[in-house]
Amino acid sequence: GAGVSQTPSNKVTEKGKYVELRCDPISGHTALYWYRQSLGQGPEFLIYFQGTGAADDSGLPNDRFFAVRPEGSVSTLKIQRTERGDSAVYLCASSHGGWGTEAFFGQGTRLTVV
């Protein structure tokens, strides 16, 4: 596609529920990143994929968070047993050459846990 696409743009869920956030990267981009951004803060690194594998998942806050990229293109961020503290904008970015090359962001998914 022309840009990074994230769906849904907004998600409201009840505490304790499971959610999935989807990212469709720029066509041909092998690297894909997930970040979380709270109001007034910079993007917080969660996980980085190179192809199908997670090259660095050190930013995932706990085992309720998991991400997959089974075919090396679309990625899904999965959050189990959501908590109110998970409320944030979840950003996805992709680049064509992994670290060291420019990353381009999607419009984000605003997650609200009530």
Question: x/- contact string, 20-39, with another protein (CB under 8 A)?
Answer: -------------x-x----
Does residue 43 have a cis peptide bond before it, meaning omega lies within 30 degrees of 0?
no
- Give CA–CA dist 96/81, Å, rounded: 33
Q: Using the rule CB under 8 A, which residue among 12, 99, 112, 114 binds another protein? A: 99
Q: Using the rule CB under 8 A, which residue among 91, 94, 111, 113 binds another protein? A: 91
- Which of 12-20, 71-79, 80-88, 96-104 is the region at the interface with another protein (rule: CB under 8 A)? 96-104
Q: Using the rule CB under 8 A, which residue among 56, 64, 72, 76 binds another protein? A: 56
Strand order in the sheet with 65-68: 5-7, 19-24, 75-79, 65-68
Sort residue 96 into left (φ over 0), alpha (ψ -120 to 50) or beta.
alpha
Q: 């899904």: which residue's tokens?
A: 76
Question: Which residues are at the interface with another protein (CB under 8 A)?
Answer: 33, 35, 40-45, 48, 55-56, 58-59, 91, 99-100, 102-108
